[in-house]
Amino acid sequence: MASYDTVVLGGRIVLPGRGPVRADVGIKDGRIAAIGEGFSSGEADEAIDAEGNLVLPGAVDAHYHLGIYRDITEDAKSETPSSLAGGVTSIISYFRTGSHYLEKSGPYSEIFPEVLEATQGHSYVDYGYHLAPMARDQVGEIERLVGEDGVASFKYYMFYKGMDLAGGSSDAAGYTMSENYDLGHLFEIMEQVARVQASRHDGSRVSLSIHCEQPELIRIFKERVQEEGILQGLEAYSASRPTLTEHLAVAEVGVLAGHTRCPVNLLHLSSEEAFEAALELKRQHPALDARLETTLHHLALTYETYNDQRGKVNPPIRAQSDVDALWRGVLRGEIDWVCSDHACCSEENKEGDLWQALPGFGGTALIYPFMLTEGLRRGLSLERVVDLVATNPARAYGLASRKGAITVGADADLAIVDLEETHPVTTERLLSAQDYTPFEGMELAGWPTRTLLRGQTVFADGESTGSPTGTYLKRPLTEARPLSTP
Amino acid sequence: MASYDTVVLGGRIVLPGRGPVRADVGIKDGRIAAIGEGFSSGEADEAIDAEGNLVLPGAVDAHYHLGIYRDITEDAKSETPSSLAGGVTSIISYFRTGSHYLEKSGPYSEIFPEVLEATQGHSYVDYGYHLAPMARDQVGEIERLVGEDGVASFKYYMFYKGMDLAGGSSDAAGYTMSENYDLGHLFEIMEQVARVQASRHDGSRVSLSIHCEQPELIRIFKERVQEEGILQGLEAYSASRPTLTEHLAVAEVGVLAGHTRCPVNLLHLSSEEAFEAALELKRQHPALDARLETTLHHLALTYETYNDQRGKVNPPIRAQSDVDALWRGVLRGEIDWVCSDHACCSEENKEGDLWQALPGFGGTALIYPFMLTEGLRRGLSLERVVDLVATNPARAYGLASRKGAITVGADADLAIVDLEETHPVTTERLLSAQDYTPFEGMELAGWPTRTLLRGQTVFADGESTGSPTGTYLKRPLTEARPLSTP
Amino acid sequence: MASYDTVVLGGRIVLPGRGPVRADVGIKDGRIAAIGEGFSSGEADEAIDAEGNLVLPGAVDAHYHLGIYRDITEDAKSETPSSLAGGVTSIISYFRTGSHYLEKSGPYSEIFPEVLEATQGHSYVDYGYHLAPMARDQVGEIERLVGEDGVASFKYYMFYKGMDLAGGSSDAAGYTMSENYDLGHLFEIMEQVARVQASRHDGSRVSLSIHCEQPELIRIFKERVQEEGILQGLEAYSASRPTLTEHLAVAEVGVLAGHTRCPVNLLHLSSEEAFEAALELKRQHPALDARLETTLHHLALTYETYNDQRGKVNPPIRAQSDVDALWRGVLRGEIDWVCSDHACCSEENKEGDLWQALPGFGGTALIYPFMLTEGLRRGLSLERVVDLVATNPARAYGLASRKGAITVGADADLAIVDLEETHPVTTERLLSAQDYTPFEGMELAGWPTRTLLRGQTVFADGESTGSPTGTYLKRPLTEARPLSTP
Amino acid sequence: MASYDTVVLGGRIVLPGRGPVRADVGIKDGRIAAIGEGFSSGEADEAIDAEGNLVLPGAVDAHYHLGIYRDITEDAKSETPSSLAGGVTSIISYFRTGSHYLEKSGPYSEIFPEVLEATQGHSYVDYGYHLAPMARDQVGEIERLVGEDGVASFKYYMFYKGMDLAGGSSDAAGYTMSENYDLGHLFEIMEQVARVQASRHDGSRVSLSIHCEQPELIRIFKERVQEEGILQGLEAYSASRPTLTEHLAVAEVGVLAGHTRCPVNLLHLSSEEAFEAALELKRQHPALDARLETTLHHLALTYETYNDQRGKVNPPIRAQSDVDALWRGVLRGEIDWVCSDHACCSEENKEGDLWQALPGFGGTALIYPFMLTEGLRRGLSLERVVDLVATNPARAYGLASRKGAITVGADADLAIVDLEETHPVTTERLLSAQDYTPFEGMELAGWPTRTLLRGQTVFADGESTGSPTGTYLKRPLTEARPLSTP
């Protein structure tokens, strides 16, 4: 007779390759030990009633910025509960040297342990890191970072070639604390990533994520917007970094990735033009492993309806036609995953001159509520929503052996969600340290009533529960523990 | 406490979206009631030991010809055990009016009940039927066949426009027992199928399968081969129906399907040229639902290594370069499924003049052994093999709610397979009435040691066990029975 | 000192690669002996004053049907003056065996001399012939026809596979007087034409012209139009042979021409869909020599404005959107030439049942007036008009060494045209035996005031002058006579 | 009776749209007054015997660098005779501010008159100028330069974004004497050129020529070549600026030109990869006016056969496979014209460190000899050779009304060429001040025996004759003088 630590009873479970099925889940030692029908509360120490609710795999928020504007530890403490509120149980956060974050440069062999140290013991979700080789020496660290440190994905920021994060200064070298952060540098990163990937034979994926905005064009458009002085707020910001700058950046990436055969992730596509350019890249390089990402806010907001400077983000919030194009890509399966690009950025950081205001804001708490509400309304199936926020990013980033799907043997990361009841978005509900939200007032269903991380309830009744038990995800994850109990 | 009819213990189960996991399966009332770890034999009336074996979903052999050359009942009795030997638990067989089969024409409202009657009680696997509207009046029956008779897929044979099945006679009308079996007829079928598909809102798929060979070209090439008299056997037959004839046929289908928006399945692609034409069709019509099929024999045989007339089949066995191209398509996921095109065709039917010999032969018993042996060797994962022979055809043809994947709630159709031991292909091992096999002597692993249909062991120790319990699959299948036990 | 037979003084000459230049032309022995400035009437026996007029090369009407409905001799006598009225000095007429024309079949070695005999001495313009191999034996004559008889272009009619010329009967074999006039037959023609072309090393072109309409689809659509009985006249006729039938036909040609590498001419494209299919054919086969033709009537008429049954023609008159698409193709240089498809078809032939009425009508007299009026209005330059009706067809069909452009050494075939004065189209003005015209009433400029054939004035003051001096154009034409006078 | 200043008798004249014709040319007042047969020496003051020779239009060398390394006046005096030796009668020279040339920056309103002044009276050929807006203020001068100064084409050098001309220094701003010479600057130039082009309604063309090499990649590759120290000479130089750098540059241009609709000329394509990228650009932007250029040296030399540092040029000399690909493009008509990129660069400038040696060398004297020898050998017709070196560049750059083709009314710029006799290339024969030539020793036919500029013999017997009578070509040229003599 099977005996579980916990059983989740009576929910509709969204199973991979199947969609929602009325079944129960038995959890033992933090993993899913059984999925079946007719389990009883007597079989386990704890029984969770999921009757009337959906049971989803914990989401994988693949784009996150722990510690970009605040102390890493502080961010880990305050922001990962927000993830739990959205049903997110794993995050992969971007880290880089240079300005912001730790405000320093140097070898990752020294700095990355510091980052891990700062996070360790403070995160409420499991977490991994993408790292950005900002200086040439760091490119030489890629192989070791993959092999020893569990960092299976890297990043290049195209616009740092010519400006800082806020777009206010053209002192790129000062901001990145490095020389020659240009397409030559990108080329060298791609070569390294491709080389490491080619040397692997376990089917795992090493990849490079790219922020696609071309700064030489931004220089011109920003100046025009400033000189003309007609547009305001997010519309001005979008005009200063028009979609053509994404288009050009994607075209540049296409040539380099096609040549080096480097697996790439085109991050936070914000516009129809960027998306079309990405599809063209794939058409031109059919054998290239290129995956497309968009964000909650690019699927939710427009400068037409939310022109508030607090929505400043890179790439910018666009027009309704762009939102519609991105949804088309999501519906057709051409966009691979949706993430939050969560960066806790206080209202204070957003004030004053548009060009000095810091970009980014939080959204991780809306991963499931937004996608379940808006995605289902637009025709996504439940199974596809799960693919977009859990299964696909887990596969792209080396987590699939334990995260992103409800299967026997996987970590018991579950979001139990109420699809019936709707609530408006409020800052309180998001459990973040950020003191406003651009999503304020949206009426959403699909809020988690309970979130489990490796079998433990870590969020319930609108609050995170217990201590920060998140662990570092050394990627690619493997099935370290035996599937049968000893 | 859960109590099962049967438990399958200790196997490596290939789970959708996950791949092989060491786990157990609990079966109740013919369906998978639970998947988990640590189930014990005491929890069930029957315990099956799968230790050291793979547990796969029963395959769905989507291309079959029950009764084409023999009595339907006879074929059902003798050939469906062969399917079980290959781990196949569901077949979808093609039926049409005209010569062969029942040797008559008329409305399907009269003839299809006869077909079902002839099969009922004689099949060892679950079975559905694709029907081919051969006469104009039958096109008008499509809507009713879908709505009432559970026939969700149809067929058009392009070469019957100009010749008979064996390619020996150009009396197409005599063979099909119909007039104007041409592209105009195909157009009208496509319109109907597309119309019925467009009227459905349950996500189910109604489609048209197409045999792509162009008879006007075959006329020329066959004559040349006959006049030149140099080539022999399968090489002669391939030259008489060269890959250009498939290419032209696929191009014609592209224009018509693009216009009508009819979901299509391009059957048994046999060559690089056919496959490239199919990819081009998809590029030109990105919004069209077009799926690609190939067969075991087109992946296994060439006229270079097997030039024996018994291998006559439409489209013909090709060259090694074609085999390699088809495998590329399979590996890249561009070909959607692999089937047997099983037609029991006795040695007697294959003798004499090449142009009179009947085409086709059996292969259903090799579905898992061949794909596990050759597919894994070429780099397919276990999960992808299952997609190709079970999950994908089940999805394409309206069976996915109960067939094609191991998930809780699905029918307990399982193939328990030994991946270690190899055996050569012999006619005895195939359990078919056919008295030879073109696959003779291939050394394959991956033979089922046991096959379960809806929870019952129907094949074990190289023999089918028990009586023919296969039921008709009224498509699209729905989850008729409640998932919780009463 | 130069001494000419004739000088043409003071006109604006449209020179190749240059456009209109005010210059004079000196003619000697039927050829252009000099082009220059300041020639005087004293230098020649005859001086023609072209002051205020355009001087254009005689047009090459590349699609013509001498003798289709009447005696060849009779048509030559009555219709070639109509060509002169439009500035046409060379025609290439289609001839085939089977019904209409000579109402018989047999080898071209016997029949073509008969055709030449019937034309000889009766044509007012120089003339060549395209021949259509209707029977298999005629395919074997291609090499000899090119090498000995000066026939450098051939034809295949796709719709004769399934119906007669009028579309009223499906007795194709009876109409063509041949068996198997299908895509297999087309394939064999293409092979022969490609083989002959590949064996030539003088840069000359041998090609196959194709009438692209697919009869199997027409069968269905015609029946629907007849059964529904709603549409009338040309709109009904267009609906019975919708643009999809051209699309499918062009797609079929693409596969076969791509395989055989046969140079092809896609004749009288009538619709946007046909034209787009032709562009797609070229994209898919960038190395293939494929040229596109449209006609005056497909650029001029729509069933929306002229729904009169007398406008019945294959392919049919279409809608305004099709006309606009064809003009786009002409303006962009994607359509290579414009012709009349002239077939003298009396009003009597057009009466009665739409499906029995004979297709085709005359238009050769409008080649320059229509293209100069409508083409210039839509933005064509004079040089491009000349390319479309003279230079390009001369190049495509082996006439360029002497026809199609005003250069020293070329035949002195000239159209002297008044661009200022407009006249309405009337049957009288067209000088044809046809007793009506679908172009009736169009107000056109650009009528020739005088036409010269090899230096002789053969049309002036609205009448043809003199006797029929047209000679047979044995293609490819070569510069048979020395350029310097002896 | 016509009376000419000069007649050219008995040659084979290459006429547009016709090819070679045996005819005579009558010249009056510097223009072609007549082309005809049987002209006599008595009709003119001077008779030139061209019997046995070809008569070609004077070539238009569209890429030239007067004054880049020496005084403009000096270069005009010494290098334009070299052009005459190659049958070139018009050149269009590139000029820019910044280092080299006049070694200064400032408004073209001040500097361009200086350039014209320095050339005036010193050139033996007619000449125009392309100008490169290096500084932002110069972009604002484009409209005036077109409208008033006859400058109808501009230039952008992509690699000056990151390095100097020799590739030795990364002080781009110092070299260009401007800030922000980046893709933003290119974008602004394109906008201006496109705007000016769109405002013209005379059919004339204003365009932007682009040197496509991407400096951010060159940075990496140059460093590797230097560090590895294995490759030498031109092979090292090619490896330091690999074809990928051209590919990326062309891709960047595609996005910007596609957006702005700026007519572009992709200069001196050197490699298969660059050429393929250019074709892809055209496929992606079918409505864009994009023309392709290559040079004599990229068609003639490889680092495999000429690895001498004196052949340093940007982009570099490549491999044989690149030469073959460029010839394919020339033969298929995909490359629009061929030029010399003539820059007189003394041997002294080529000595020492590879990275400091100055790029470029002369070649204008080989325009006709090389293209007639090598082009005809590879299958070009005489007419196509003339298109490539005369007609096409004349059309692209606003000279076609008077230059680039032998037609009545055009300037009597003629190259009388001997196709029979071959001579090896020697520095003496090139009549240039450059003291070596990478083409040394090539055995070429097609050397001009005489060159006429506007009717005057300016080169004969291997020497330029007379004084420098070249005039400035204010583009677009118009037919300023009446075609009839007064």
Minimal CA separation from A335 to chain B, in Å: 15
With cut-offs at 50, 70 and 90, classify the pLDDT of residue D485.
very low
The pLDDT value recorded for residue B18 is: 84
Separation CA D116–CA B358 (nearest Å): 86
Helix (H) or strand (E) holding A15: strand A4-15
CB count, 10 Å around CB of C381?
14
| Nearest CB to A220 within list D187, D219, D247 | D187
User: Among partner residues D219, D252, D255, which is closest to A184 by beta-carbon distance?
Assistant: D219
**Token pair 């009709």: residue:** D43
Q: Residues 180-199, chain C: which have Cβ within 8 Å of B?
A: 180, 182-185, 187-188
Neighbours of chain C (3+ CB pairs under 8 A): B, D
Distance CA(B476)–CA(D106), nearest Å, equals: 77
For residues A438 and A341, the answer to whether their CB atoms sit within 8 Å is no
Residue D483 has pLDDT above 50, yes or no: no
pLDDT of residue B480: 58
> How much is the average pLDDT of C283-298?
94
Chain D hits for A217, Cβ within 8 Å: 183-184, 187
Give the separation between CA B66 and CA B119, rounded to whole angstroms: 9
pLDDT for the residue A283: 87
Torsion over CA of B106, B108, B109 and B110, rounded to 10 degrees?
50
Over residues D150-165, mean pLDDT? 96
Residue with tokens 């004293």: C42
* Candidate from A153-157, B199-203, B299-303, D214-218 with smallest mean pLDDT: B199-203
Give yes or no for C2 touching D (CB within 8 A): yes
Report strand pairing: B264-266 vs B207-211. parallel
Residues 6+ apart with CB under 8 A from A46: A5, A6, A7
**Distance to chain D for C166, nearest Cα, Å:** 39
C25 CB near a chain D CB, below 8 Å? no
Which residues of chain D neighbour A244 with C-beta distances below 8 Å? 255, 259
Average pLDDT over residues C361-381: 97
C279 touching B, CB under 8 A? no
Residue contact C216–B183, C-beta within 8 A: yes
Q: What is the mean pLDDT of residues B241-247?
A: 98
At residue A203, the pLDDT reads 81
- Contacts of residue D230, defined as CB under 8 A and 6 or more positions apart, other chains included, come to none
Give Cβ neighbours of residue B201 (< 8 Å, ≥ 6 apart).
none
Residue D18: its pLDDT value, please?
84
Residue D481's pLDDT band, with cuts at 50, 70 and 90, is: low
CB distance from A391 to chain B under 8 Å? yes
B207: distance to nearest CA of chain C, Å?
Answer: 21
**Chain B within 8 Å of A483 (Cβ-Cβ)?**
yes
Cβ–Cβ below 8 Å for C184 and B220: yes
Longest CA–CA span in chain C (Å) reads 75
The enclosing H or E element of A235 equals helix A233-240
- Residue to mutate among D7, D8, D22, D35, with most C CBs inside 10 A, is D35
Please tell me which of the candidates B13, B37, B409 has its beta carbon nearest to residue A33. B37
Q: Which of A328, A392, A408 to mutate to test the interface with B (most CBs of B within 10 A)?
A: A408
Instruction: Could you list the beta-strand ranges (E) of D65-212.
Output: 88-96, 126-132, 153-157, 207-211
A43 touches chain B (CB under 8 A): yes
| pLDDT of D212 higher than 60 | yes
Residue of C nearest to B215 (CA): C184
The answer to whether C124 touches C458, Cβ cutoff 8 Å, is yes
3-state secondary structure chain C: CCCEEEEEEEEEEEECCCEEEEEEEEEECCEEEEEECCCCHHHEEEEEECCCCEEEECEEEEEECCCCCCCHHHHHHHHHHHHHHCCEEEEEEEEECECCCCCECCCHHHHHHHHHHHHCCCCCCEEEEEEECCCHHHHCCHHHHHHHHCCCEEEEEHHHHCCCCCCCCCCHHHHHCCCCCCHHHHHHHHHHHHHHHHCCCCCCCCEEEEECCCHHHHHHHHHHHHHHCCCCHHHHHHHHCCHHHHHHHHHHHHHHHHHHCCCEEECCCCCHHHHHHHHHHHHHCCCCCEEEEEEHHHHHCCCCCCCCHHHCCCCCCCCHHHHHHHHHHHHCCCCCEEECCECCCCHHHHCCCCCCCCCCCCCHHHHHHHHHHHHHHCCCCHHHHHHHHHHHHHHHCCCCCCCCCCCCCCECCEEEEECCCCEECCHHHHCCCCCCCCCCCCEECCEEEEEEECCEEEEECCEECCCCCCCECCCCCCCCCCCCCC
Size of interface A-B (CB pairs under 8 A): 117
Summarised one tens digit per residue, pLDDT across range C143-182 is 999 999 999 999 999 999 999 999 989 999 999 999 999 9
Strands C4-15 and C44-49 turn out to be parallel
B91 shares contact with chain A (CB less than 8 Å): no
Rounded Cα gap, residues B117 and B138, in angstroms: 20
Please judge whether C38 and D405 are an interchain contact, meaning their C-beta atoms are less than 8 angstroms apart.
no
pLDDT in tens, D384-429: 999 999 999 999 999 999 999 999 999 999 999 999 999 999 999 9
Quick: pLDDT tens for B312-349. 999 999 999 999 999 999 998 999 999 999 999 999 99
Rg (CA), chain D: 21
Residues of A in Cβ contact (< 8 Å) with D185: 216
In terms of CA atoms, which chain C residue is nearest residue D289?
Answer: C332
Distance (Å) from the C-alpha of residue A354 to the closest C-alpha of chain B? Answer: 42
Residues of B in contact with A205 (CB under 8 A): none
Question: Residue A1 and residue B42: Cβ atoms within 8 Å?
Answer: yes
- B395-413, pLDDT tens digit by residue? 999 999 999 999 999 999 9
Q: To which residue do tokens 């699939």 refer?
A: A400
> Residue C113: how many CB atoms within 10 A of its CB?
12
Percent of chain B with pLDDT strictly greater than 70:
98
* Residue among B18, B405, B485 minimizing CB distance to A37: B485
Interface contacts A/D by beta carbons within 8 Å? 62
Nearest to B34 among A22, A28, A35 (CB): A35
- What is the CB neighbour count within 10 angstroms for residue A97? 24
Cβ neighbours, 10 Å, residue A421: 10
The answer to whether residue A240 neighbours chain D at the CB level (below 8 Å) is no
In angstroms, the CA C74 to CA C67 distance is 8
Q: How far is CA A258 from CA A194, C274, D254, in A?
A: 11, 36, 17
Residue A450 phi, psi dihedral angles, 5° rounding:
-155, 140
Reference D365, options D76, D43, D79; nearest CA is D79
pLDDT tens digit sequence for B23-76: 999 999 999 999 999 899 999 999 999 999 999 999 999 999 999 999 999 999
From chain C residues 312-341, the ones with a CB under 8 A of any chain D CB are none
Over chain C, what is the mean pLDDT? 95
pLDDT computed for residue C17 by the predictor: 81
Under 8 Å between Cβ of C207 and C265: yes
pLDDT tens per residue across all 486 residues of chain A = 458 999 999 999 999 888 899 999 999 999 999 999 989 999 999 999 999 999 999 999 999 999 999 999 999 999 999 999 999 999 999 999 999 999 999 999 999 999 999 999 999 999 999 999 999 999 999 999 999 999 999 999 999 999 999 998 999 999 999 999 999 999 999 999 999 999 998 889 999 999 999 999 999 999 999 999 999 999 999 999 999 999 999 999 999 999 999 999 999 999 999 999 999 999 899 889 999 999 999 999 999 999 999 999 999 999 999 999 999 999 989 999 999 999 999 999 999 999 999 999 999 999 999 999 999 999 999 999 999 999 999 999 999 999 999 999 999 999 999 999 999 999 999 999 999 999 999 999 999 999 999 999 999 999 999 899 999 999 999 875 543 332
Residue C358: exposure state from Cβ atoms within 10 A (0-12, 13-18, ≥19): buried
C-chain residues near B252 (CB < 8 A): 248, 251-252
| B48 touches B457 (CB < 8 A) | yes
Q: Which residues of C touch D410 (CB under 8 A)?
A: 18
How close D239 gets to chain A, by Cα (Å)?
Answer: 15
Q: In this structure, are residues B454 and B412 in contact, taking their beta carbons and an 8 Å threshold?
A: yes
The secondary structure element, H or E, covering residue D186 is helix D183-198
- At B483 the pLDDT is 32
Dihedral (CA of B396, B400, B403, B406) sign: positive
Neighbours of A112 (CB within 10 A): 18
Collect all residues with Cβ–Cβ distance below 8 Å to B117 and sequence separation of at least 6. none
Within 8 A of B285 by CB-CB distance, chain C residues are none
The confidence score (pLDDT) of residue B482 equals 41
D33 Cβ under 8 Å from any chain C Cβ: yes
What is the DSSP pairing of strand C337-339 with strand C290-295?
A: parallel
Question: Which of A184, A217, A255 is facing D251, going by the closest CB pair?
Answer: A255
Q: Are A124 and A162 in contact (CB under 8 A)?
A: no
Q: Which chain C positions have a beta carbon within 8 Å of D22's beta carbon?
A: 409, 483-484
Contacts of D248 in chain A (CB under 8 A): 183, 252, 255-256
Question: With an 8 Å Cβ cutoff, is A486 touching chain B?
Answer: no
**pLDDT value of position C1:** 46
Of chain C, the percentage scoring pLDDT greater than 90 comes to: 94
Q: Closest to A259 (Cβ–Cβ): which among D216, D244, D252? A: D244
D163 and A CB contact within 8 Å:
no
Q: Where are the alpha helices (DSSP H) in B345-465?
A: 367-370, 376-378, 382-386, 392-396, 427-430
N-terminal to C-terminal alpha carbon distance within chain D: 15
D23, D33, D381 ranked by CB distance to C38: nearest:
D33
Of D162, D184, D220, the CB nearest to A220: D184
DSSP A426-455: -HHHHT-S-S--TTTT-EE--EEEEEEETT
What pLDDT, on a 0 to 100 scale, did the predictor assign at position B387? 97
Provide the angle, in degrees to the nearest 10, between the axes of the packed helices C108-119 and C72-85.
50
Look at residue D3 in the predicted model and tell me its pLDDT.
82
D20/C contact by beta carbon, under 8 A? no
Q: Does D251 touch chain A (CB under 8 A)?
A: yes
Structure tokens at B92: 């979808």
**Could you give the angle at the alpha carbon of C89 between the alpha carbons of C84 and C91, nearest 5°?**
105
Is A238:A313 a contact under the CB 8 Å cutoff?
no
Tokens 């940007």, residue located: D314
The pLDDT confidence band at residue C460, using thresholds 50, 70 and 90, is: very high
For the segment C82-96, what is each residue's pLDDT rounded down to a tens digit? 999 999 999 999 999
CB A224 within 8 A of CB A209: no
Give CA–CA dist C61/C93, Å, rounded: 9
Distance from CA of B221 to the nearest CA of C (A): 9
Residue in C384, C407, C481, C483 to test binding to D, most D beta-carbons within 10 Å: C407
Is residue C264's pLDDT more than 60?
Answer: yes
Which SS3 state, helix, strand or coil, does residue B254 take? helix
D158 touches chain A (CB under 8 A): no
Cα–Cα distance, C123 to A398 (Å, whole number): 81
Task: Give yes or no for A224 touching D (CB within 8 A).
Answer: no
Distances (CA, A) of C124 to A135, A388, C89, C386: 83, 75, 8, 21
The pLDDT tens digits of the residues spanning B330-340 come to 998 999 999 99
* pLDDT in the model for residue D480: 58
